[in-house]
Amino acid sequence: MTGHDAHPDEAPERASSSRSSWNTIKPRPKGGRPYATSLSFAFALTAVMTALVLVAVLGVVWEGQFMAYTRSNMQAIADSTAASISEAYAREGELDEDVAAVAESASSVSPDIVVQVTAADGTVLYDDTWASADSTGSARGEKPVPSQVPTSHEAVVSASITAPDGEVVGTVRLWAFGSDALLTKTDSAFRSNSYGAIATAAAIAAVLACVIGYFVSRSIARPIQRITSTAKQIRNGDLTARSGVTGSDEIGQLGETFDDMASTIERDLKLEHRLTGDVAHELRTPLMALQATIEAMQDGVLPADDEHFETIAGEVRRLSRLIDAMLRLSRLENGTTEVKAERTDMVYLVRSLVSAQHQLFHERGLHLRFVDETHGELYADVDPDLIREAVVNLMSNAMRYTNADGWVKVSLRQDRSDVLVSVQDTGIGIAKEDIPQTFSRFWRSDVSRERVSGGLGVGLAITKEIVDRHNGTILVESELGKGTTFTLRIPLRRPRKPRDE
């Protein structure tokens, strides 16, 4: 009774934990920003960011270099002026206003430069702003007031006036009028114009980036849109739709791969539809025979004797073989059939198969022979039972589609690290367009459908799966009316799996 005493709230939890859901794709997905717009925006943003980085670099590097350049020019003027005054002082023997007036030549360099000469005691001997002083004040004999020297050390340059013995007798000072930095109006205009040009170039670059990004994104987005449109057509049932996108780049490869996938899907669906019809046909034939025989026996038309019971048993066995073959193929495809590889003498294996089938071929009026091109033993790591089944399937297929007095040749040879088993016949052959479908289950060419083959329709499919499990391949060569050759290529050495796997 304790097993039924679970809490009532636990049942809903168990039910919800096993619940699952599935939803279809929306016929009209939610719209978003177009790819062309996003890429154009990315191009423009890149251009703007580049301009901003350039402005930042100019602000840090170019601005400092430009200020150092203007300061060095000012300093050169100050040094030249101080040297001229020092020469005049050496001739006159004293530093007065007449000697200091030599600095007037420096004032003529630029109207934005203020030149001031002071004596060793700080007395202003020359100031080029005095030239623009009020004429009435000069007439009254009043000495003009000298200009106020900027307090910032970075705003002024100076040079010493020296006597012939090296004594400093005065100083020449220069600064830019109305500026806290050593920038004249011309220098300031040049700097402003430079930054304005950079801003204009950034705006033009952003516009060009948008235009280029728009056209580039359109060229990139156009094939993507074609692929998307094709995918929608296929989703809506038009399996013949193709994007037609080709090229050597990634988008071209995507388009080619997408079209190949679409072709594969179309082919597989056609094969699936054909498979459904073939399976129905393969099952209906023995079932109809069973039904007709049993009903005739029930109605008294046919006697319930051993002969008719054997007919029923034969059809049941045919159904059983068909179902067993389908189950075997399914296990091979799902990988549930284990490949028990062992060192096997392929020459002995194939020769024994040919010997065992020789009488059966003889009864059908066919010639069967074995050709050993190895001239000795040839060992390979294979599952002998599976390889035997694959070769028997090929031999049975050759026997069914070869006319009386025809030949079937089974040959064995080595090609480097592979063993090749070939089954060649002189049968009806396979059309070129039908060869890719040769290994599809229940598939038969139109030519082979015209004759009673008696096969189950899955033998070649099983053979392909067996070879695939051995990491091998199958080559099909055929010509209508002349015959077919199937060649199994199987590696001699099979990779060993680690024990921990």
pLDDT in tens, 255-271: 899 999 988 888 778 76
What DSSP line would sit under 407-470, residue for residue? EEEEEEEEETTEEEEEEEE-SS---GGGGGGTTSTT---HHHHTS-----S-HHHHHHHHHHHT
Q: How far apart are the two ends of the chain, measured CA to CA in Å?
A: 45
Which of 21-30, 308-317, 391-400 comes out lowest in average pLDDT?
A: 21-30
pLDDT at residue 216 in the model = 81
The distance between the two most distant Cα atoms of the chain, rounded to a whole number of Å, is 160
Domain range list for the chain: 32-234, 250-329, 339-491
pLDDT at residue 489 in the model = 95
Evaluate if residue 244 carries a pLDDT over 70: yes
Q: Considering only CA atoms, give the Rg of the chain.
A: 51
Give yes or no for a contact between 353 and 385, defined as CB atoms under 8 angstroms apart. no
Compare 482 and 44 and report the one with higher pLDDT.
482
Topology adopted by domain 339-491: Heat Shock Protein 90 (3.30.565)
Evaluate if residue 339 carries a pLDDT over 50: yes
Report the distance separating Cα 401 and Cα 454, nearest Å. 10
pLDDT tier at 21, thresholds 50, 70, 90: low
Q: Helix, strand, coil proportions of the chain in percent (round to 5)?
A: 55, 15, 30
pLDDT at residue 212 in the model = 82
pLDDT at residue 22 in the model = 52
pLDDT tier at 445, thresholds 50, 70, 90: low
Evaluate if residue 178 carries a pLDDT over 80: no
Mean pLDDT, residues 384-397 taken together:
92
pLDDT at residue 313 in the model = 86
% of the chain at pLDDT higher than 70: 81
pLDDT at residue 354 in the model = 94
Q: Give residue-wise pLDDT tens across range 275-291.
A: 666 667 667 777 887 88
Compare 32 and 147 and report the one with higher pLDDT.
147
Evaluate if residue 335 carries a pLDDT over 60: yes
pLDDT at residue 16 in the model = 47
Q: Which segments of 8-58 are extended strands (E)?
A: none
| Most confidently predicted of 60-69, 81-90, 363-372 | 363-372
Evaluate if residue 393 carries a pLDDT over 80: yes
Mean pLDDT, residues 89-112 taken together:
76
| Most confidently predicted of 151-160, 172-181, 387-396 | 387-396
pLDDT at residue 136 in the model = 43
Report the distance separating Cα 481 and Cα 295, nearest Å. 42
pLDDT tier at 24, thresholds 50, 70, 90: low
Which of 177-181, 289-293, 350-354, 386-390 comes out lowest in average pLDDT?
A: 177-181
Q: Are strands 379-382 and 168-176 parallel, antiparallel or unpaired?
A: unpaired
Q: Give residue-wise pLDDT tens across range 110-131.
A: 777 888 888 888 888 888 777 6
Report the distance separating Cα 134 and Cα 258, nearest Å. 90
Contacts 24+ apart (CB under 8 A), 445-453: 447/480, 448/401, 451/401, 453/400, 453/401
pLDDT at residue 28 in the model = 58
Q: To the nearest whole number, what is the mean pLDDT of the chain?
A: 79
Mean pLDDT, residues 187-212 taken together:
80
Evaluate if residue 171 carries a pLDDT over 70: yes
pLDDT at residue 450 in the model = 42
pLDDT tier at 19, thresholds 50, 70, 90: low
Evaluate if residue 156 carries a pLDDT over 70: yes
Q: Give residue-wise pLDDT tens across range 486-499.
A: 999 999 987 655 44
pLDDT at residue 4 in the model = 47
Domain covering 250-329: architecture = Orthogonal Bundle (1.10)
For residue 114, how many other CB atoms are within 10 A of its CB?
23
pLDDT tier at 26, thresholds 50, 70, 90: low
pLDDT at residue 443 in the model = 64
pLDDT tier at 104, thresholds 50, 70, 90: confident
